[in-house]
Amino acid sequence: MNPFSSGTRLRDMIRAIRACKTAAEERGVVRKECAAIRASINENDQDYRHRNMAKLMFIHMLGYPTHFGQMECLKLIASPGFPEKRIGYLGLMLLLDERQEVLMLVTNSLKQDLNHTNQYIVGLALCALGNICSAEMARDLAPEVERLLQFRDPNIRKKAALCSIRIIKKVPDLAENFINPATSLLREKHHGVLITGVQLCTDLCKTSTEALEHIRKKCTDGLVRSLRDLANSPYSPEYDIAGITDPFLHIRLLKLLRVLGEGDADASDSMNDILAQVATKTESNKVAGNAILYECVQTIMSIEDNGGLRVLAINILGRFLSNRDNNIRYVALNMLMRAVTADAQAVQRHRATILECVKDLDASIRKRALELVYVLVNETNVKPLVKELVDYLEVSDLDFREDLTTKICSIVAKFSPEKIWYIDQMLKVLSEAGNFVKDEVWYALIVVVSNASELHGYTVRALYRAFQTSAEQETLVRVTVWCIGEYGDMLVNNIGMLDIEDPITVTESDAVDVVEIAIKRHASDLTTKAMALVALLKLSSRFPSCSERIGEIIVQFKGNLVLELQQRAIEFNSVISKHQNIRSTLVERMPVLDEATFIGRRAGSLPGAASTATAPSVSLPNGLAKPAAPLVDLLDLSSDDPVAPSSSGGDFLQDLLGVDLSPASQQSGAGQASKSGTDVLLDLLSIGSPVQSNSVDILSSNTSNKAPVSPLDDLSSLSLSSRSASNAGPVIDLLGGISSSPPTENNGPVYPSVTAFESSSLRLTFNFTKQPGNPQTTVIQATFTNLSSNTYTDFVFQAAVPKFLQLHLDPASGNTLPATGNGSITQTLRVTNSQHGKKSLVMRIRIAYKINGKDTLEEGQISNFPRDL
Amino acid sequence: MIHFVLLISRQGKVRLTKWYSPYTQKERSKVIRELSGVILSRAPKLCNFVEWRGHKVVYKRYASLYFCMCIDDTDNELEVLEMIHHFVEILDRYFGSVCELDLIFNFHKAYYILDELLIAGELQESSKKTVARLIAAQDSLVETAKEEASSLSNIIAQATK
């Protein structure tokens, strides 16, 4: 033997490593050993290859790199003796995995060993193949494995069966080759072969429907018989576990029967008796018996319905659920979860016990139980269940709270019977676990609050109270700040008092205190601070007495390090100090946020099918008949869109402002604002002022005519003073001017004219022409006809288009529309489609006019343009 | 199916790992780190199942060792618990009241036994006796080969003297 090669034995190396006191020391020993092994490998030392491999495996287990030993595995496998092969295959399985290319080199050795005369060597090769084979190897060696399924020794047959499972998982196409040999394994008496054969058949059934049909037809009865023989077999010491003969075989047979019985009444029928027998006769005082019962229940619940058996199964689960062993309770919860779909009523009976499990000490059980409760909730039991869960929230572990909070919020949102209950529960959750509440959840809460006008006062007072105790919950703070900003006056004056509340005395400065605390708290993040700043601006108008103090707070933020806050503070400060006359209009209450749109947006799709002509709404939502309203409203499209737009219309709404104008982003506009300059618009929007990029257009188009200009002027001057530079991408012509213009000459291709908009009082038709040589641009002549018996004065038509379109409006032919179709107004629009040929035109319109001096407004969306415009 | 088998000591040392699903070396050490954190910190009376990354890990503690098996969400947890016990009993028979040190110094033997019990993450044999017989037969094959080798080297040594 070579006296210079590494001398330590495996045992000595392990001892040396174990004797190490520190990790560094251990690394030293391992480095030395590895160096010796590498040296030995380089010398191609045959005698120590065996021992080196064993050492490497140990070193590998400690987590050190051992890739340099991979080739040694192959050499050991290729050597003729059994001991070398044994350790070689072990190393192969341990040091390599199926993704390493080295593995391909072993295919040939494997093939030889699969045909070896020594059955133990065949066994080693099968074992290695079953544990690590890749798809390529599976393809190459499948015929050998298939042949070995009929080998004389049962121990090889069982190994070959499990190896086949791996092969068909890697290459499902090969499944059909295995169907016949697999079914013949089912007739064996040897338990090992039977267990593996049943397992192989189960996997075959899952991979190929052909196999499923074949086995269902040929083997169901045989399997039922095997199970019966097994269940009735006398005591056999070799396979006995806790008084039951071979529970493993029991379970596998039940599993295969389940696969065969699913969706097949005949097969299900033939196994009813034996399932009933197993379910009733199996001892349930040991793990093995319970494992069989558990499997049996699963089978009963999965196969075709048999009322009696189901009752039996649910009873077993009920027994499991009241068991004191945590493992049994865990599997019961697990199984009830699957049984819910089959028999929800029966599961509901165990609701109280399940609810107890939510409060269990064991995290695994809690998690299961919570999921089960979640599927058990319905309209009738939501109130008591949520009460329990919310109560538990107070005492639950911190790491469980996140899960619990999410589930409660989701249940409350899904099943809340009334808004006040929803608001109550959400406030409880926010005050208990507000830091775990996801953004969508509190956005949704604000949408609901804004829609429940009769609860505004109640909500803001409840939030005020909650804030006094739970000011550390970020999301609670945000919602509180938002609500105080919007409904602060209701808080102070106890407006909208419900019978159930106690009146509280809150002064104006108390309300400002809350916002001040929120904005000055160090833990508050940017979103909260930005929301607080907006709330302060709003309060400055609502509470004139506190205006000065608010001004001071805002001034403190003029030097804030966060650009967003600084900028906002400067803007708001100038609004407060220099623009008293328009402040109250600016800080109007937010228009009601549209629930349907919000929920639809959350679900990822907009509500409503594609409707070509949208129904016009004559009455204005939430009474926005103020002078500035049309403008605000037009910009604020998503929040009070009265009709469900078609899906393209939805994009259009978003495109219009060039930002994602979800209600959520409006509320937290400042949070997003740091991302792009465009978002700045949102903030201004939320207080009711126009987008500055548009304001330029508004000014230029309106100075030329005598439309109701003054409010617009005010607004635009505000935005110009606050920020004149426009950084909002392409400029969109939102509003057109109004004056007459001669119709343009038509000499392009002919398009049919369409009735773009029709209501009981007004009709709008479009005629289309294209200028030759400029296919992208369409000239639209709009003709307005009065269908009512009143004359319309101060008629203004406005239109808006998504970003990919450019719109130019010529002045209208007049601003008075005679009654009953006795005349018309015409106006020319020029639309340039930058996506010509890909997208068709869409347009959103708004028509304002006066009937006997009274303002009227109609709006709608036009998407029935001819294609190819 | 069983995705992997893991034996960890109470100190978090790995005593045996067997992977039936492909995990890279990096993933393997991450799995071991994560799981030993979760499992070793669980109180004794709790249930033996941990939900983990969409799978379940069934574990059972025997003296200072935790035997863990990771299974699919739909598998029978109780059966796997029984399987772990089955494995432990076979080890016990083979080593004669097995202890952690046996598994450290004869880790390869533990692997051989596991390979007679599981292939491709499925149970291979439900009879402890059969497993013991097969392992004994292979051990004796190794012994014979060793004896032959040493007598051969003796002959060579004598011949070259």
Band the pLDDT of A124: cuts 50, 70, 90.
very high
| pLDDT value of position B109 | 92
Chain A residues in contact with B136 by the CB 8 A cut-off are: none
Is residue A681 scored above 50 in pLDDT? no
**Per the CB < 8 Å rule, is B119 touching A361?**
no
Return the structure tokens found at A282. Answer: 């199996």
Mean pLDDT for chain A overall: 76
Determine the Cα–Cα distance for residues A198 and A262; give it in Å rounded to an integer.
17
| pLDDT value of position A334 | 85
CA distance from start to end of chain A: 91
Q: Does A327 touch chain B (CB under 8 A)?
A: yes
Q: How far is CA B29 from CA A49, A62, A285, A579, B114, in A?
A: 27, 10, 38, 65, 21
CB A540 within 8 A of CB A551: yes
| pLDDT value of position A468 | 83
Band the pLDDT of A598: cuts 50, 70, 90.
low
- Span A533-578, pLDDT tens digits: 888 888 887 787 877 888 888 888 888 888 888 888 888 888 888 7
Query: Residue B122 is nearest to which of A165, A246, A291, comparing CB atoms?
Result: A165
| pLDDT value of position A639 | 40
CA distance from start to end of chain B: 58
Q: Does B132 touch chain A (CB under 8 A)?
A: no
| pLDDT value of position A52 | 87
Q: How far is CA A633 from CA A590, A686, A764, A793, in A?
A: 11, 11, 21, 21
Give B 34-63 residues with CB within 8 A of chain A. Answer: 43, 45-51
Band the pLDDT of B5: cuts 50, 70, 90.
very high
Give A 335-364 residues with CB within 8 A of chain B. Answer: 361-364
Query: Residue B141 is nearest to which of A54, A93, A120, comparing CB atoms?
Result: A120
- Of A255, A864, A590, A482, nearest to B122 by C-alpha is A255
Return the structure tokens found at B45. Answer: 């009376």
Q: Does A199 touch chain B (CB under 8 A)?
A: yes
Q: Does A191 touch chain B (CB under 8 A)?
A: yes
Chain B residues in contact with A364 by the CB 8 A cut-off are: 46-47, 49-51
- Span A230-239, pLDDT tens digits: 888 888 888 8
Determine the Cα–Cα distance for residues A175 and A138; give it in Å rounded to an integer.
11
Torsions phi, psi for A89 (to 5 deg) = -65, -35
Residues 6+ apart with CB under 8 A from A132: A92, A93, A96, A97, A98, A103
pLDDT cut 90: percent of chain A above it? 10
Chain A residues in contact with B14 by the CB 8 A cut-off are: 61-63
Residue from B124, B130, B139, B146 to probe the interface with A (highest A Cβ count within 10 Å): B124
| b/e map A522-558, b = 16+ CB within 10 Å | eebeebbbbbbbbbbbbbbbbbeebbebbbebbeebe
Neighbouring C-beta atoms of residue A603, cutoff 10 Å: 9
Is residue A863 scored above 60 in pLDDT? yes
Residues 6+ apart with CB under 8 A from B21: B1, B3, B4, B121
Determine the Cα–Cα distance for residues A356 and A321; give it in Å rounded to an integer.
11
Averaged pLDDT, A421-442: 82
Is residue A610 scored above 60 in pLDDT? no
**Per the CB < 8 Å rule, is A247 touching B43?**
no
Q: Which of A269-273, A428-432, A726-730 has the lowest mean pLDDT?
A: A726-730
Q: Which residue has the tokens 């790199």?
A: A65
CB B107 within 8 A of CB B118: no
Chain B residues in contact with A329 by the CB 8 A cut-off are: 47
H-run or E-run covering A344: helix A344-348
CB A690 within 8 A of CB A728: no
Q: Does B22 touch chain A (CB under 8 A)?
A: yes
| Amino acid occupying residue A286 | K
Q: Which residue has the tokens 């009143």?
A: A790
| pLDDT value of position A248 | 92
| Amino acid occupying residue A425 | Q
Return the structure tokens found at A432. Answer: 């208990």
Band the pLDDT of A625: cuts 50, 70, 90.
very low
Residues 6+ apart with CB under 8 A from A790: A819, A851, A852
| pLDDT value of position A599 | 60
Higher pLDDT, A137 or A722: A137
- Of B99, B140, B93, nearest to B113 by C-alpha is B93
| pLDDT value of position A596 | 66
- Of A311, A393, A382, A396, nearest to A345 by C-alpha is A311
Is residue A6 scored above 60 in pLDDT? no
| pLDDT value of position A619 | 38
| pLDDT value of position A450 | 80
Kindly report the nearest CA distance between residue B57 and chain A, in angstroms.
11
**Per the CB < 8 Å rule, is A238 touching B127?**
yes
Q: B55: which strand partners?
A: B52
Which chain A residue has the Cα nearest residue B148? A81
| pLDDT value of position A597 | 65
Of the ranges A310-319, A444-453, A671-680, the best mean pLDDT one: A310-319
Torsion of CA A382, A384, A386, A392, to 10 degrees: -160
Determine the Cα–Cα distance for residues A149 and A160; give it in Å rounded to an integer.
5
Determine the Cα–Cα distance for residues A483 and A492; give it in Å rounded to an integer.
12
Q: Does B112 touch chain A (CB under 8 A)?
A: yes
pLDDT cut 70: percent of chain A above it? 81
Averaged pLDDT, A622-645: 39
Band the pLDDT of A161: cuts 50, 70, 90.
very high
Kindly report the nearest CA distance between residue B23 and chain A, in angstroms.
8
Return the structure tokens found at A788. Answer: 């009512």
Q: Which of A12-16, A274-278, A823-827, B71-75 has the lowest mean pLDDT?
A: A823-827
Query: Residue B120 is nearest to which of A165, A287, A334, comparing CB atoms?
Result: A165
Is residue A772 scored above 80 in pLDDT? no
Query: Residue A367 is nearest to which of B46, B51, B120, comparing CB atoms?
Result: B51
Q: Which of A473-477, A639-643, A806-810, B139-143 has the lowest mean pLDDT?
A: A639-643
User: Helix (H, G, I), strand (E, B), or coil: what is residue B4?
Assistant: strand
Higher pLDDT, A505 or A736: A505
CA A36 to chain centre: 54
Higher pLDDT, A160 or A692: A160
Q: Does A807 touch chain B (CB under 8 A)?
A: no
Which chain A residue has the Cα nearest residue B111? A90
DSSP H stretches of helix in A579-709: 580-586, 595-602, 629-635, 647-657, 663-667, 669-673, 680-686, 692-702
DSSP tag of A79: S
**Per the CB < 8 Å rule, is B145 touching A126?**
no
Determine the Cα–Cα distance for residues A190 and A204; give it in Å rounded to an integer.
21
Q: How far is CA B8 from CA A304, A630, B36, B43, B104, in A?
A: 43, 70, 7, 16, 11
Determine the Cα–Cα distance for residues A298 and B48; give it in Å rounded to an integer.
20
Q: Which residue has the tokens 């039977």?
A: A194
pTM recorded for the entire structure: 0.65
Higher pLDDT, A374 or A739: A374
Give A 667-686 residues with CB within 8 A of chain B. Answer: none
Burial (Cβ within 10 Å: 0-12, 13-18, ≥19) of residue B53: exposed
| pLDDT value of position A391 | 80
Q: How far is CA B67 from CA A241, B82, B95, B101, in A?
A: 19, 12, 17, 15
Query: Residue B124 is nearest to which of A97, A158, A251, comparing CB atoms?
Result: A158
Q: Which of A283-297, A414-428, A457-471, A684-698 has the lowest mean pLDDT?
A: A684-698
- Of A530, A559, A800, A482, nearest to A680 by C-alpha is A530
Return the structure tokens found at A723. Answer: 């920020």
**Per the CB < 8 Å rule, is A159 touching B124?**
yes
| b/e map A41-54, b = 16+ CB within 10 Å | beeebeebbbbbbb
Which chain B residue has the Cα nearest residue A294? B76
Q: Which of A139-148, A382-391, A731-740 has the lowest mean pLDDT?
A: A731-740
Q: Does B21 touch chain A (CB under 8 A)?
A: no
User: Helix (H, G, I), strand (E, B), or coil: what is residue A807?
Assistant: strand
Kindly report the nearest CA distance between residue B143 and chain A, in angstroms.
9
CB A393 within 8 A of CB A401: yes
H-run or E-run covering B59: strand B55-62
**Per the CB < 8 Å rule, is B29 touching A127?**
no
CB A354 within 8 A of CB A336: yes
**Per the CB < 8 Å rule, is B122 touching A196?**
yes
User: Helix (H, G, I), strand (E, B), or coil: what is residue A712?
Assistant: helix
Q: Does B23 touch chain A (CB under 8 A)?
A: yes
| pLDDT value of position A799 | 85
- Span A369-392, pLDDT tens digits: 888 888 888 877 888 788 878 887
**Per the CB < 8 Å rule, is B146 touching A83?**
yes
Q: How far is CA A797 from CA A84, A542, A754, A833, B54, in A?
A: 91, 34, 17, 21, 58
| b/e map A268-305, b = 16+ CB within 10 Å | bebbbebbbebbeebebeebbbbbbbbbbbbbbbbbee
**Per the CB < 8 Å rule, is B78 touching A287?**
yes
Q: Which long-range contacts (CB under 8 A, 24 or more apart) does A738-741 make?
A: A738/A705, A738/A707, A738/A795, A738/A796, A738/A797, A738/A811, A738/A812, A738/A815, A738/A827, A739/A704, A739/A705, A739/A811, A739/A812, A740/A811, A740/A812, A740/A813, A740/A814, A740/A826, A741/A810, A741/A811, A741/A812, A741/A813, A741/A827, A741/A828
- Span A57-99, pLDDT tens digits: 999 988 888 888 888 888 888 888 888 899 999 999 888 876 7
Determine the Cα–Cα distance for residues B102 and A69; give it in Å rounded to an integer.
25
- Span A743-752, pLDDT tens digits: 444 444 577 7
Kindly report the nearest CA distance between residue B151 and chain A, in angstroms.
14
- Of A125, A139, A131, nearest to A95 by C-alpha is A131
Burial (Cβ within 10 Å: 0-12, 13-18, ≥19) of residue A447: buried
- Span A248-296, pLDDT tens digits: 999 999 999 999 988 888 888 888 888 888 888 888 888 888 999 999 9
Determine the Cα–Cα distance for residues A764 and A290; give it in Å rounded to an integer.
75
H-run or E-run covering A796: strand A792-800
- Span B7-66, pLDDT tens digits: 999 988 899 999 999 888 888 889 999 999 999 988 888 889 998 888 999 999 998 899
| pLDDT value of position A7 | 65
H-run or E-run covering A779: strand A777-786
Averaged pLDDT, A801-805: 82
- Span A17-28, pLDDT tens digits: 989 899 899 999
